[in-house]
Amino acid sequence: MITKVRNHISQNEPLLFERSSPGKKAYQLPELDVPGVDAGEALGAENVRPEIEGFPEVSEVEAIRHYTRLSTWNYAIDYGMYPLGSCTMKYNPRINELVARIEGLAWAHPYQPEALAQGSMEVMARLEAALAEITGMDALTLQPAAGAHGELTGILLIRALLEKRGNPRKKILIPDSAHGTNPASAAIAGYAVENVKSTETGLLDVSALERIVDEDVAALMVTNPNTLGVFEENIIPVAEILHAKGALLYMDGANMNALVGIARPGDFGVDVLHLNLHKTFSTPHGGGGPGAGPVAVKKVLEPFLPIPRLKRSGKKLTFDYKRKDSIGRVRAFYGNFGVLVRALAYILAHGGPGLRNATVDAVLNAVYIRKQLEPYFDLPYGSPNMHEVVFSDERQAKNGVRTGDIAKRLIDYGFHPYTVSFPLIVHGALMIEPTETEGKRELDQFIEAMISIAKEAESDPQLVKTAPHNARTSRVDEVGAARKPVVRWKP
């Protein structure tokens, strides 16, 4: 029996065709004060659309209520929290959207002359400067379209530098706690990938790293904080080990929302990193785009950044295409400009203290959830967590309840599920990232739901294993859907 259901669930909604009543209209027009004209005669019969047979006839209020009720069927960030993290589902301040829609920015054409694009170029220049200060790096490119694109760009920059030195080297080291796109980016850039195991505390094994770094290693790609939500506290010795062998340190900055205003990657030895503007610096990214993955580098890598590069001459900004060591373009035009505008608006609206507060809130929220749920869910790694916490389903699995079951049951409580079965180094993972935008009331409701499900998994595991019970689509056959997908509907 479902004991708690949030009240956004609405009744089943009939189709407009089923609501239709002949003669109803959603508008009322005054009587014609000029002679009527036959549309077929005036426009030509071939240009007049015939009446749509069975077209629904409803009133204005019926149409509005119909679509409003339908909107409640979709979960949305404006309704409640997404415990699956900030990658795509963090609340984004509406002021950013307003700024991005300023006519001069929204309608800026990429081919317009530089003399007419100074405002847009100034936005880019100020964003570059802000991100360089935030990360402690020397230069940036704003071209990459998203995080993984930034990864590839960063590794291509490393390859270009090493080639300039006479040897591009052969392999990239990647911890098992890194983001899954890292190995793909390294492979596309032409490198072999070697995995580095984490310690029992979820940290990079420094002694193992020291043994395997040799003259064939081009770089280490480290996600920091890693996918367990743990900060790599030995990052400075790691950088020193790599640099001593002529290798570079690449940082996946997707989790930079746990560091902004508190720690700068450039200060602990990182040579190149990418940022996810659509994550840390606020752009709605659900549905696959748009995103932005700027790449920040230390001075030694600056000559290789993609063209064109912004160049300031007095008060005038220009694009510099004459850079002999550049890896060339990585994207058409200058990046996803609308995302860049939103990111600068977010940074300027918060200011330095505000950005730091957002980071502190993100970490506080995740630690609060950890402390409340630790008595009910297994915590495989005991290191202090930052912006996210990763549990496992080990306790619930004893009763046959797995992480996917818990996530589906969470739907019955009115929440979007957390990240299921990731990171892969945690068997049956429950990754929870509340982000900085959630208040204590919402966190407490989520915690209460998770505790209730943990108790259900002990007292009535079948209830959890057959969830969801109150969703519009009940439990689906995921195995059958994967093996025999129906991609075309037949009436």
Q: What local confidence, expressed as pLDDT, does residue 60 receive? A: 92
pLDDT band of 165, cuts 50, 70, 90:
very high
- Measured CA to CA, the distance from residue 119 to residue 109 in angstroms comes to 12
Q: What local confidence, expressed as pLDDT, does residue 285 receive? A: 64
Give the mean pLDDT of the chain.
92
338 near 243, Cβ under 8 Å?
A: no
Tokens 């993609």 map to which residue?
306
Give the DSSP H or E segment for 198.
Answer: none
432 pLDDT above the threshold of 80: yes
Burial grade of 4 (CB within 10 A; 0-12, 13-18, 19 or more):
exposed
Judged by average pLDDT, the poorest of 92-96, 184-188, 287-291, 440-444 is 287-291
Q: Residues 192-221: what's their mean pLDDT?
A: 94
Please compute, for residue 182, the number of CA atoms within 13 A of its CA located in the half-sphere on the CB side: 29
8 pLDDT above the threshold of 50: no
Q: What local confidence, expressed as pLDDT, does residue 3 receive? A: 45
Q: What local confidence, expressed as pLDDT, does residue 149 receive? A: 95
Q: Where are the beta strands (DSSP E) in 383-480?
A: 389-392, 419-420, 429-432
Domains of the chain: 16-71 (no CATH), 94-349 (3.40.640.10), 353-476 (3.90.1150.10)
- Bridge partner residues of 196 (DSSP): 175
Q: Is 2 left (phi over 0), alpha (psi -120 to 50) or beta?
A: beta
What is the dihedral sign for C-alpha 448, 390, 279, 265? positive
220 near 249, Cβ under 8 Å?
A: yes
| Amino acid, res. 214 | D
Tokens 């993290």 map to which residue?
85
Please compute, for residue 276, the number of CA atoms within 13 A of its CA located in the half-sphere on the CB side: 24
Q: What local confidence, expressed as pLDDT, does residue 206 receive? A: 94
How is residue 338 written in tokens? 């609308």
190 pLDDT above the threshold of 70: yes
Judged by average pLDDT, the poorest of 141-150, 204-213, 477-486 is 477-486
N-terminal to C-terminal alpha carbon distance within the chain: 35
Q: pTM of this prediction?
A: 0.88
Q: Where are the beta strands (DSSP E) in 314-472?
A: 316-320, 389-392, 419-420, 429-432
Residue 458's alpha-carbon distances to 36, 401, 450, 462, in angstroms, are 74, 9, 13, 10
Tell me phi and psi for residue 246, to 5 degrees.
Answer: 80, 10
Burial code of 437-475, b = ≥16 C-beta within 10 A, e = fewer? Answer: bbeeebbebbbebbebbbebbeeebebbbebbeeeeeee
Q: What local confidence, expressed as pLDDT, does residue 125 receive? A: 97
Is the pLDDT higher at 429 or at 40?
Answer: 429
Q: What local confidence, expressed as pLDDT, does residue 284 receive? A: 67
Give CB contacts under 8 A, 24+ apart, made by 308-316.
308/334, 309/141, 310/121, 310/124, 310/125, 310/128, 312/125, 316/118
Q: What local confidence, expressed as pLDDT, does residue 489 receive? A: 60
pLDDT band of 352, cuts 50, 70, 90:
very high
373-402: pLDDT as tens digits: 999 999 999 899 999 999 999 999 999 999
- Measured CA to CA, the distance from residue 432 to residue 416 in angstroms comes to 11
What is the dihedral sign for C-alpha 385, 389, 395, 398? negative
Q: Residues 482-491: what's their mean pLDDT?
A: 76
pLDDT band of 139, cuts 50, 70, 90:
very high
1 pLDDT above the threshold of 50: no
Residues contacting residue 390 through CB under 8 Å, at least 6 positions apart: 227, 228, 229, 379, 380, 381, 423, 426, 429, 430, 431, 432
User: Residue 37's CB: how many other CB atoms inside 10 A?
Assistant: 10
- Measured CA to CA, the distance from residue 185 to residue 180 in angstroms comes to 9
